[in-house]
Amino acid sequence: MNTEDIKGFFASREQLDMADYLTLDYYLECVGDIETALAHFCSEQSTAQWKRVDHDEDFRPKYAARVISLTIEGELEALSYPVVHFETGPIHACRVTIAHPHRNFGAKLPNLLTAVCGEGVFFTPGVPVVKLLDIGFPEAYLRAFDGPKFGIDGIRDLLQAYDRPIFFGVVKPNIGLSPANFAEIAYQSWLGGLDIAKDDEMLADVDWSSLIERSRVLGEARARAEKETGEPKIYLANVTDEVDRLLEQHDIAVSNGANALLINALPVGLSAVRMLARHTKVPLIGHFPFIAAFSRMEKYGVHSRVMTKLQRLAGLDSIIMPGFGSRMMTPEEEVKDNIAECLQEFGHIRRSLPVPGGSDSALTLETVYRKVGSVDFGFVPGRGIFGHPMGPRAGAMSIRQAWEAIEQGISLETYAVGRPELEVMVDGINRKK
Amino acid sequence: MNTEDIKGFFASREQLDMADYLTLDYYLECVGDIETALAHFCSEQSTAQWKRVDHDEDFRPKYAARVISLTIEGELEALSYPVVHFETGPIHACRVTIAHPHRNFGAKLPNLLTAVCGEGVFFTPGVPVVKLLDIGFPEAYLRAFDGPKFGIDGIRDLLQAYDRPIFFGVVKPNIGLSPANFAEIAYQSWLGGLDIAKDDEMLADVDWSSLIERSRVLGEARARAEKETGEPKIYLANVTDEVDRLLEQHDIAVSNGANALLINALPVGLSAVRMLARHTKVPLIGHFPFIAAFSRMEKYGVHSRVMTKLQRLAGLDSIIMPGFGSRMMTPEEEVKDNIAECLQEFGHIRRSLPVPGGSDSALTLETVYRKVGSVDFGFVPGRGIFGHPMGPRAGAMSIRQAWEAIEQGISLETYAVGRPELEVMVDGINRKK
Query: How many Å from the N-terminal Cα to the C-terminal Cα in chain A?
Result: 63
Give the rounded distance of the alpha carbon of B43 from its chain centre: 30
Q: Is the model's pLDDT at A119 over the cut of 80?
A: yes
- Average pLDDT taken over every residue of chain B: 97
* Closest CA in chain B for residue A267: B110
Taking an 8 Å cut-off on Cβ atoms, the answer to whether A208 and B103 are in contact is: yes
Whether the per-residue pLDDT at B430 is higher than 90: the answer is no
* A243-246: long-range contacts, CB 8 A cutoff, minimum separation 24: A243/A268, A243/A269, A243/A272, A243/A275, A243/B110, A243/B243, A243/B269, A243/B271, A243/B272, A243/B275, A244/B271, A244/B275, A244/B278, A245/A205, A246/A272, A246/A275, A246/A276
* Mean predicted confidence (pLDDT) in B29-52: 96
A392 in reach of chain B (CB within 8 A): yes
Mapped to the 3 state alphabet, what secondary structure does B395-421 carry?
HHHHHHHHHHHHHHCCCHHHHHCCCHH
User: What is the mean predicted confidence (pLDDT) over B287-296?
Assistant: 98
Q: What CATH fold (topology level) applies to the domain B151-432?
A: TIM Barrel (3.20.20)
**Per-residue model confidence as pLDDT tens digits over A355-396:** 999 889 999 999 999 999 999 999 999 999 999 999 999 999
Q: Confidence band (pLDDT; 50, 70, 90) for A127?
A: very high
Measured in angstroms, the CA of A68 and the nearest CA of chain B are apart by: 21
How crowded is residue B310: how many other Cβ atoms within 10 Å of its Cβ? 22
The percentage of chain B sitting over the pLDDT mark of 70, rounded to a whole number, equals: 99
CB contact under 8 A, B296 and A297: no
| Residue B178, pLDDT above cutoff 60 | yes
Domain boundaries of chain A, sorted by first residue = 3-142, 151-432
pLDDT on residue A48: 84
Flag whether residue A56 sits within 8 Å of chain B, measured between CB atoms. Answer: no
The 10 Å Cβ neighbour count of residue A230 is 6
CB-CB: which of B113, B278, B389 is closest to A267? B113
Of 3.90.700.10, 2.40.160.40, 3.30.70.150, 3.30.470.20, which CATH number belongs to B3-142?
3.30.70.150
Q: Which residues of B touch A300 (CB under 8 A)?
A: 296-297
Cα separation of A167 and A190, whole Å? Answer: 10
Check whether B32 has a pLDDT greater than 70: yes
pLDDT of residue A358: 87
Report yes or no: B289 at the A interface, CB cutoff 8 Å. yes
Q: How far is A228 from chain B (nearest CA, A)?
A: 23
Single-letter code of the amino acid located at A94: C
List, for residues B126-139, the tens digit of each pLDDT value: 999 999 999 999 99
The pLDDT tens digits for B214-246 are: 999 999 999 999 999 999 999 999 999 999 999
Taking contacts as CB-CB distances below 8 angstroms, the residues of chain B near A173 are: 47-52, 59
ipTM of the complex: 0.97
* Cβ pair A175:B47 closer than 8 A: yes
Share of chain B above pLDDT 90, in %: 96
Residue B432 has pLDDT above 70, yes or no: no
For chain A, give the percent of residues with pLDDT over 90: 96
Which one has a higher pLDDT value, A429 or A402? A402
B287 touches chain A (CB under 8 A): yes
pLDDT of residue A142: 98
